[in-house]
Amino acid sequence: MDVTVEVVGEETRAVRVADDATYADLLAPFDLSPHEVSVLVEGRPVPEDQPVETDRVKVLRLIKGG
């Protein structure tokens, strides 16, 4: 399954994942931890251990270095 992942304010790319992938699996190509982001589907946060059920998500960084 291909999922379009938008890291808000940074980049957007298609990520290929297995059919049983979770939202946390979408973060690996971006080197992001589920502890530093929220994954949003249609503007609502989803648990990172929930199976992916959509083809487009937004990832919002909660912590950014500075």
Query: Each residue's pLDDT tens digit in the chain (66 positions)?
Result: 999 999 999 999 999 999 999 999 999 999 999 899 999 999 999 999 999 999 999 999 997 665
Domain range for 37: 2-61
Q: Does 28 reside within a domain?
A: yes
Query: Can you give the pLDDT at residue 30?
Result: 94
Quote the pLDDT of residue 9. Answer: 94
Which pLDDT belongs to residue 66? Answer: 58
Q: Does 66 reside within a domain?
A: no
**What global pTM score does this model have?**
0.89
Q: What is the C-alpha separation between 1 and 5, in angstroms, rounded?
A: 12
Residue 52 lies in a domain: yes
Q: Is the torsion defined by CA of 20, 30, 14, 5 positive or negative? A: positive
